Amino acid sequence: MTDSEKIEAFDAIAIAFTNQWYDGRWTWWVSQPSGSSDTPRMTRREAIEDLVEWAKWKAKRQRPRRRLELLVVK
C-alpha cells in the first residue's frame, strides 16, 4: 500500500467505526455506546483519538500471538 492509500484506508475506517448518538456525543465502535471508555467523547476527533489509542494497546497484545502463529505455520 502506498502512503496515500493508507491515509485513505484509515479515513474510511475512522468514519466506519465512529458514531454520533442522539445527544450529539461521539463514540467509536458502534456496537458499544461508549467505545473503550465509560464516557462518550464530545467530538468525532476525540473518538478517533480514543480508537487509535485502543488500537495501539491491542497491537501490543497481538504481536506475541502473531509471532507464535508464524512459527507454527513454518
pLDDT of residue 64: 67
pLDDT average per 10 residues of sequence, the chain (74 residues): 90 88 79 54 86 86 64 54
Contact by Cβ (8 Å): 33, 25? no
> Cα 41 from chain centroid?
14
pLDDT of residue 12: 93
Nearest to 25, CA basis, from 40, 35, 38, 14:
40
